[in-house]
Structure 1
C-alpha cells in the first residue's frame, strides 16, 4: 500500500527564472495568498518557493 500525504495545490502569481551560474538556473514562485504555515507561524513577509535546475 502506497501512503502519500495529501498535496495542497497553490496557484502562484508569477514565476521568475534567473541564471545562477553556468548550467544552473533558479526558478522562484511568488504567491500573494497566505499559506497555512505562514498564518500559523505569523510570518510577516511570507515564504518563497525556490527550485534549482541543473543542466
Structure 2
C-alpha cells in the first residue's frame, strides 16, 4: 500500500517535471524571439495573452 502511494507520487512528479520542462522550452523560444525594444508587438506577451482565458 505504501509503495503504491509512493509510486503515485513519483508518477505525479514526473508529469509536473515534464510540464515545467515544456514551459521552460516555450519561454526560451519566446525569449529568443524578443528584440528587447519598445515594439508594440511582443511575442512573449502575445503568447501569454493567447494562453490566458479571457474574463467575461
The two structures share one fold, judged by TM-score above 0.5: no
TM-score normalised by length of structure 2:
0.25
Greater Rg by CA: 2
Structure with the largest fraction of strand: 1
Normalising by the residue count of structure 1, what TM-score does the alignment of the two structures yield?
0.25
